[in-house]
Amino acid sequence: MTPVVRHLGEVDYLKTWQDMQAFTDARDEASADELWFLQHPPVYTLGKNGKVEHILNPQDIPVVNSDRGGQVTYHGPGQIVVYTLLDLNRLKIGVRELVTLIEQSVIDLLADYGVSSSARRDAPGVYVNDAKIAALGLRVRKGCSFHGLALNVDMDLEPFSRINPCGYEGLEVTRLKDIIKDIEIRSVADDLQQQLLNKFAL
């Protein structure tokens, strides 16, 4: 069963999070999986076990306490966010394999652009020359995942300097636009969609 793909545009984080929870609570064994592609207005989100001290100087950017895994991260326009609403039991995969499949989708996407990247076992996400280009944060309930992936394409990276990204002091963050000058976020989203569908279509 191929996941349903929704392109939601720029949407509020809190409302989208509530929609993910409602979708997960309402689904059953027959419900199709879904991938939500979107962007968020500027917001910091703190994971379920995140430490507030990693938020250094949020200034005017709101902070939302989320139920995903991981520490603090930043979302803003120019970043592709993909929420992976998947029935892991039906896919016959666990959380670690889900993380690996999502990371590999980004690694394969970047490889198609001629960009070498890698994952790190100790710090989920995708890195280009030790700089983080994609972050992951997931939650699993009733055997189903929600939250997902954030890929930095053509966004303002300055807000990352006001936090310890993903709980790592001094972690460098990068974006695709700094590596490939003529990149367009829509085409990246389309290519990422194909990578994810290749990984999760049954």
Task: Give catalytic residue positions.
Answer: 166
Size (the chain), residues: 202
Position 140: which residue type? V
Q: Give phi and psi for 179, each to the nearest 5.
A: -105, -40
H-assigned helices in 7-153? 13-26, 88-91, 95-112
**DSSP code, position 163:** B
The DSSP symbol for 32 reads P
